[in-house]
A and B are shown apart, each in its own frame.
Chain A
Amino acid sequence: MTTIDKKTSASGATSATGAPLLEVRDLHVEFHTRDGVAKAINGVSYSVEAGETLAVLGESGSGKSVTAQAIMGILDMPPGRIPKGEILFHGEDMLTMSAEERRKIRGRRIAMIFQDALSALNPVLSVGYQLGEMYRVHLGLSRKEAKARAIELMDRVKIPAAAARVNDYPHQFSGGMRQRIMIAMAMALEPDLIIADEPTTALDVTVQAQVMDLLAELQREENMGLILITHDLGVVADVADKIAVMYAGRIVEQSPIHELYKRPAHPYTRGLLDSIPRLDQKGQELYAIKGLPPNLMKIPPGCAFNPRCPKARDICRTEVPALVPVTEQDGGELPGRGSACHFWKETIHG
């Protein structure tokens, strides 16, 4: 039910501005290192609407975090370089903006939640000070007002006894509470879009469930867009609306969330799903994707997944497959689905 509500409100927001909240078009990012050029992102396109959650799934080195850093404008340049691509926020290309204009967006309109809250927070400043900083720097509030707002925020993310704990330092909080503070900080200026980079990876399962629920609830209340970066197919299963699977700097599959688990249309996604042991039954030997993720300095020609793919044929070694729409066997539309596999038809339809 909630997804339907979200969809309608999302389309409402789109029609008002005419453009999606965020649209990434054919983004390329490369890093110039001593040993050569590492092509971290090779043409990524995706979009997020207000009130929508996009999960970006990938293993280490797939480019999921680099894409987020490029959107936030926190890529180290050099060695990073964006040779090509557009990042449209409300229809405006952020890559051509001045540093001044970008700074106005960063934190206020697009905020980010990092994986490791302990290293993302300053250990020598109290959490109240760090939360209040958002208001002092961006809105010019006084220290006193900022602190009052910080307490409100801590209440909002359900930190018990917020008023008493506002002067505590990050190390005095548990992992789950620290991640709540990170969420509070991202929420502070009511941004339009939040990018959460592995927000629950460092947390225990029972706490992970609490934090994911909180994030989803706040997003619903504020009708924000949310990009959820993760390597865990389980975490995103019931919070995301749609998902993009990345491999070697490209999107290999995109899909509405439920569809993906039911019928993957790319051999890599299928391999990932098959290689996870199930909680509710004891399986035999696990399916394992053979080989290793590619070296970004030497991405294999053709489809980057071909050396590990059980279905690879000659065309896979020479031609890079484009991300094409996926349809039913009878040609019926499957909205929102795409696969970058030459043989997606046999992958999805068996």
Chain B
Amino acid sequence: MLSYKAIYVIVLREFKRFFRQKGRLVVTLARPLIWLFIVGSGFTRLIDIGSGANYIQFILPGIVGMTILFSSIFSTISVVWDREFGFLREMLVSPVSRVTIVFGKLLSGTTLSVLQGVALLFVAPFLGLPLSFQGFAAMILLMFLVALSITALGLFVASFLSSLEGFNVIMNFIVLPMFFLSGALYPVGSLPPVIKVFTYINPLCYGVDSFKHVLLPSGGRLAAEIPMYVDVAFVAVFSVIFTFLAALVFERKK
């Protein structure tokens, strides 16, 4: 059913395309740093936290989450791109199963996101957040899981879209609420109940919370808000459901 060679070469292709576009690479790496140092340092002066993490430290897990969110969601543009430029047909007439194509796209989107998250983690010590080897390893696993859930969601949505314009409109509509309701910039506990409801179904909210467990000191107003096991369980279940749905839609579509 699954062809590993095909998955490997689909991932390889996405990596080549990613690293070949130097401009995109620079923007991708610069965006989180701009958020962190401009938004972060601006608010740090404004907000007096008291004990625990200060504001610029607080948003690091959120910015890691944001990087993964953007990278994962927008990696799935390749599905629409391939359809628009015909390359998808090259894959569809091959003996490779549709599920293989979905897994290839899933794995490439996920690993590219994790790589960007890892690059961002090297900023942590400079913000006064020490990161042990165990913490680093835990972050890689968590980032992988979060990236997987969001790439799967993106793939599921993208499989319905046939134009690049449509992709940008729809994905921005999904990405921005997900980001602002993730606890990346402010604790979700402080949101009004009507809005807070949406955070319960937002995988990024659980993802960012799990990063806070690892990266931030416990205690204080800005620490993690949800138990770690709930974070991991929700993101894992979300990944499985949307991987299944994406594969289903791909299988059905001719």
Partners in one complex: no
Binding site for A on B (CB under 8 A): none
